[in-house]
Amino acid sequence: MHFTIKNLETIKEEVKLNVKSDHLPEIIAVSKTFAIEKIKPLIEYGHKHFGENKVQEAKNKWMDIKKKRSDISLHLIGKLQSNKVNQAIEIFDYIHSVDNKKLAKKIAEAEVKKNKKLKLFLQVNLASEEQKSGVSVEGLSDLVNFCCESKLDVQGLMCIPPLNENSEHYFQKLYQLNNQYNYKQLSMGMSSDYLNATKYSSTFLRIGSKIFGERI
């Protein structure tokens, strides 16, 4: 058994023990920077959800595979520049980093042009970190309303807690906000804190290094 499969199965068992529900979160295998040869064992094993950070890298790695495997869902978890939206629509199924109305408008226009609907998450900058993307908590309501008016398929909220802080505080806060807007999906939890995220009903865990190993 390939080491990535062993790692994935270990994570699944940990999550299963931690979640007091029959509905387990989906694990997004964050394959950014890794060559497709390292990802193929998981694809062949039947894993369905993969995450990439950059549009061009995703197109280079996944375009041919996705033509053959329509069951695979590709998630954009990195920042999306508005001039890359049309390309992103072609290859991705989910975008986890919508954080402003300009980007939301571009996505809505591209969806009409490409005749394709994506599932979206709104990234919230809970700690107001200047170096980090995400809509402010105060600006979230306005963005939610705009996305609704634009007929975008917003699944839920997404966050990346500050480094070296207790992630549970931020997961709890995002969970409460998500409920406030009646969203059913929640994107939070990475390699270092995914078990904390499961305590607050995360439905998508974005896990990279714990599956593929450290990036060089």
20: in domain: no
What pLDDT is attached to residue 131?
Answer: 78
Question: Which pLDDT band holds residue 134 (cuts at 50, 70, 90)?
Answer: very high
The answer to whether the beta carbons of residues 117 and 111 sit under 8 Å apart is yes
pTM of the model as a whole? 0.95
Tens digit of pLDDT for each residue in 26-47? Answer: 999 999 999 999 999 999 999 9
Judge whether 137 lies within some domain: yes
Considering only residues 45 and 130, tell me which one the structure prediction assigns the higher pLDDT.
Answer: 45
Q: 55 is in which domain, residue-wise? A: 3-15+25-212
CATH code at 63?
3.20.20.10
Q: Which tokens belong to 117?
A: 């609907």
Total domains in the chain come to: 1
Is 216 a residue whose pLDDT tops 70?
no
Assess if residue 82 is contained within a domain. Answer: yes
Residue 186, domain member (yes or no): yes
What tens digit of pLDDT does each residue of 55-67 get?
999 999 999 999 9
